[in-house]
Amino acid sequence: MRVSRTALIGLPILIALPLIVHLLFGGSEKYYLHLLIQILIWSFIYTGWSLMGRFGLTSLGHGAFTGIGAYATVLLWNYAGLTPWLGVPVAMVIAVVVALLVGYPCFHMRITGHYFALLTLALTEFIRLCIVGLRDYTGGSLGTQPRRYGDGVSLYAMQFEPDRVLSYYIVLTLWLVGLYIWWRVDRSMDRFALDAASQDEEAAASVGINVTREKLKVTAISAAMCALGGAIYGQYQMYIGPDTIAGLSVSLNIVFACIAGGLWVMLGPTVGAVFTQVLSEVLRVSMQSSVTLQALFGSAVLALDTLIYGLLLILFIIYMPKGILGALLEKREKTSSAPTPPSRAVLR
Amino acid sequence: MLELSDIDAGYGGFQALFGISMSVQPGEVVAVIGSNGAGKTTLLRVISGLLPASSGAMSMEGVSLRQTPPHRIIETGIAHVPEGRRLFPRLSVESNLKIGAFIPAARKKFEERLAFVYELFPRLKERRAQLAGTLSGGEQQMCAIARALMSGPKLVLLDEPSMGLAPVIVAQVFDLVRRIRREGYTVLIVEQNVRQVLKIADRAYLLEVGRIKASEPAAELVASDEIRKAYMGI
């Protein structure tokens, strides 16, 4: 009920957003639309990660999947002339195969918690090294670009970046698909199974849950979503680099944003994306344009925004483990179910 | 119903069970007794598939269960109530029961079976929305047994149902076992509380350091001097 009411109000606003931006920020609407597009793409990726993260499968390997998605699509286009309409599915399949190859031994041998995080971290680094190592094709650490196909928008080459409004609607659709997948998983019996397995694997196995299979299923969905997100990111940015769409920094950003937004609610990863993107943007702009700060720190001011960003995230993890949205919803639930303050008997 | 012959099992290099042969007939309550570390829990884990046997044969109603994973074994009608209850503490009672009916055959009969276990254990119905981790010990055991019944088993494996419970509650738990027996379930129960379990069992196996030392009707074991001295402190 709550979700549907939110959707009823929120969806028309989101659809009208380009118009609103146009009316409010006529001169710099391209910049604001760019910000919105970034938020939606990352929201989709974060939502994909949270499908696993919410069940205690803390993967630091999703930077590998976004990287595979972006790079496979672009390389297939640049060197084999394969349209992204086929390249993206191929990239998604590659990501799923990699995910299953890493996931099967992990889940079969009951590797969880810190060990799982470390193992997946190694995967991210492995993919990044592959990208850098194959520099003749991938451009190494400098990154590369999808070959332009004519000027402007092209359906065949899936290049839509020149038209910001079109780009916005494409990624809005993508984001909605992501939420739909989250909702389907949330309502499925698999969710119960994974919830159970995350609390007690042996007990889950004893009631007939094939724990390995359930984990592989959700891993495959999650990897495919992140690969798709990475591919769309590359198509929109028209530039891919090992640091912007692959590698550890991407993995860590995904985890941070999901924790900040809230892992266990549908819109948590989206709130996390809004928060992290807006925060880093505001910090970057305000720090770098401040004359006072520049006088105080000199060129070190360029790194100051990253520092503050990191500090805020640490505070979040400590003081708001359920995330922004999780904490807000909890607060609302408390106030609505208990209109009067808790009685003294409860407090005692 | 359940047949084990010459089963060996262990953990890594450590062998816990040596040549176990035993059987359970339909409608029986069979107890496995023995001291700490005798291999009782290991035996149940082998039967439910959580620990694959290293050699030997096992079958349920004529179907061989060798090298069968747990989610297949439960489909043959064996449900395991693990040691220490092992509920999903942060899920409600009803969600725990829902997960108990996870296998496809059981999902179809979920509503029907839920009504049945609520009738059998009305206390659980009262507490259906409560988190399982907040139940009392006795209620948790009740919930664990109910979760096992949700899969629609013929044979229920009970691992130390009295563990960690107050004496009054222990008596209630054994009463639960009697109740599910009356409903027609076959029960294989592992216990350290020898005196109590021999009161409800038809037959018992005595397990000592991974080997079956004796297999007799419960009444005869109760009368045996050796058992009385070693396990009942009389």
Mean pLDDT lowest among A120-129, A150-159, A171-180 = A150-159
Per residue in B17-29, pLDDT (tens digit) is: 999 999 999 999 9
Tell me if A343 is assigned to some domain.
no
Domain that holds residue B134: 2-194
Q: Do B78 and B24 meet the contact criterion of CB atoms below 8 Å apart?
A: no
Q: What is the ipTM of this complex?
A: 0.87
Confidence (pLDDT) at A8: 85
Let me know if residue A342 belongs to a domain: no
Q: Is residue A338 part of a domain?
A: no
Reference B60, options B40, B77, B43; nearest CA is B77
In a domain, B201, yes or no: no
Residues with Cβ within 8 Å of residue B134, at least 6 apart in sequence = none
SS (H, E, C) chain B: CEEEEEEEEEECCEEEEEEEEEEECCCCEEEEECCCCCCHHHHHHHHCCCCCCCEEEEEECCEECCCCCHHHHHHHCEEEECCCCCCCCCCEHHHHHHHHCCCHHHHCCHHHHHHHHHHHCHHHHHCCCCEHHHCCHHHHHHHHHHHHHCCCCCEEEEECCCCCCCHHHHHHHHHHHHHHHHCCCEEEEEECCHHHHHHHCCEEEEEECCEEEEEEEHHHHHHCHHHHHHHCCC
Residue B231 has pLDDT above 90, yes or no: no
**What is the per-residue pLDDT for A1?**
44
Please report the pLDDT score of residue A337 as a whole number: 56
Cβ–Cβ below 8 Å for B86 and A206: yes
Mean pLDDT of A251-255: 91
Instruction: Report how far residue A287's alpha carbon sits from residue A304's, in angstroms, rounded to the nearest whole number.
Output: 7
Q: Say yes or no for a CB contact (<8 Å) between B148 and A208.
A: no
Q: Mean pLDDT throughout A335-341?
A: 51
CB neighbours of B140 closer than 8 A, spacing ≥ 6?
B85, B87, B132
Residue A28 banded pLDDT, cuts 50, 70, 90: confident
What local confidence, expressed as pLDDT, does residue A286 receive? 80
3-state secondary structure at position A245: coil
pLDDT at A340 over 80: no
Calculate mean pLDDT across residues A119-145. 93
- Residue B69 with chain A: CB contacts under 8 Å: 210
B chain contacts of residue A199, beta-carbon cutoff 8 Å: 88-91
B212 assigned to some structural domain:
no
CB contact under 8 Å between A207 and B148, yes or no, is yes
Domain assignment present for residue B210? The answer is no
| pLDDT tens-place string over residues B178-210 | 999 999 999 999 998 888 888 899 999 999 889
Structural domain span for residue A164: 2-333
Q: What is the pLDDT of residue B26?
A: 94
Above 70 in pLDDT, residue B159? yes
Four-residue CA torsion sign, A257, A58, B72, B112: negative
Q: Which of A207, A216, A263 to mutate to test the interface with B (most CBs of B within 10 A)?
A: A207
Interface contact A208-B107, CB threshold 8 A: no
A202 contacts B86? CB cut-off 8 A? yes
Determine how many CB atoms are found less than 10 A away from the CB of residue B79.
Answer: 27
Half-sphere exposure for B24 (CA within 13 Å, toward CB): 27
pLDDT band at A166 (very low <50, low <70, confident <90, very high): very high
Substitution target in B46, B71, B76 with the highest count of A β-carbons within 10 Å is B71
Per the prediction, chain B carries an average pLDDT of: 91
Q: How many A×B Cβ pairs under 8 Å?
A: 63
Confidence (pLDDT) at A236: 95
A223 and chain B in contact, CB less than 8 A: no
Determine, for residues A205 and B75 on separate chains, whether the beta-carbon distance falls below 8 Å: no
pLDDT in tens, A55-114: 999 999 999 999 999 999 999 999 999 999 999 999 999 999 999 999 999 999 989 888
Rounded average pLDDT over A4-23: 87
Residues of B with CB under 8 A from a CB of A: 48, 50, 69-71, 74-75, 79-80, 82, 86-91, 95, 98-100, 102-103, 106-107, 147-148, 151
Nearest CA in chain A to B79: A207
CATH number for the domain harbouring residue A261 = 1.10.3470
For the beta sheet containing B2-11, the strands, ordered from the edge strand earlier in sequence to the opposite edge, are: B14-24, B2-11, B55-60, B63-64
Does residue A339 surpass a pLDDT of 60? no
- The domain tally of chain B equals 1
Query: Based on the structure, what is the number of domains in chain A?
Result: 1
DSSP SS3 for A348: coil
Nearest to B88 among A203, A208, A210 (CB): A203
**Residues in chain B within 8 Å Cβ distance of A210:** 69, 71
Residue A263 predicted with pLDDT over 60: yes
B149 in a structural domain: yes
B87–A208 C-beta distance less than 8 A: no
Q: Which of B71, B95, B148 sits opposite A209 (nearest CB)?
A: B71
User: Which residue in B68, B88, B95, B103 has the most chain A C-beta atoms within 10 A of its own C-beta, making it the best mutation to test that interface?
Assistant: B88
Give me the mean pLDDT over the B75-97 stretch.
93
Whether residue B221 is contained in a domain is answered as: no
Mean pLDDT of B53-58: 93
Q: How far is CA B121 from CA B148, B162, B173, in A?
A: 13, 17, 12
Instruction: Tell me whether residue A175 is exposed, middle or buried, using C-beta atoms within 10 angstroms of its C-beta: 0 to 12, 13 to 18, 19 or more.
Output: buried
Residues 160-189 on A with a CB inside 8 Å of B are: 189
pLDDT at B12 over 50: yes
| Contact criterion met (CB < 8 Å) for A203 and B86 | yes
Q: Which of A193, A206, A210 sits opposite B50 (nearest CB)?
A: A206
How high does pLDDT run on average in chain A? 88
Q: What confidence tier does A344 reach under pLDDT thresholds 50, 70, 90?
A: very low
Task: Return the residue of B nearest to A193 by Cα.
Answer: B99
A206 touches chain B (CB under 8 A): yes
Please tell me if residue A205 touches chain B, with a CB cutoff of 8 Å.
yes
Q: What pLDDT was estimated at residue B233?
A: 65
Taking only the tens place, the pLDDT of each residue in A35-53 is 999 999 999 999 999 999 9
As given in the structure block, the two tokens for residue A331 are 């607060």
CB–CB contact B88 A206 (8 Å) = no
Cβ contact, residue pair A208, B74, below 8 Å: yes
Question: Residue A345 pLDDT > 60, yes or no?
Answer: no
Residue-level pLDDT at A346: 33
**Mean pLDDT highest for which of A304-308, A321-325, B116-120?**
B116-120
| Predicted pLDDT of residue A2 | 55
> Taking residues B122-126, what's their average pLDDT?
94
| pLDDT for residue B35 | 84
Place of tokens 């040549």: B19
B52 part of a folded domain: yes
pLDDT at B135 over 90: yes
Q: Which of A195, A196, A203 sits opposite B82 (nearest CB)?
A: A203
- A-chain residues within 8 Å CB-CB of B90? 199
Average pLDDT on A142-160 reads 90
Q: Is residue A328 part of a domain?
A: yes
CATH assignment at residue B113: 3.40.50.300
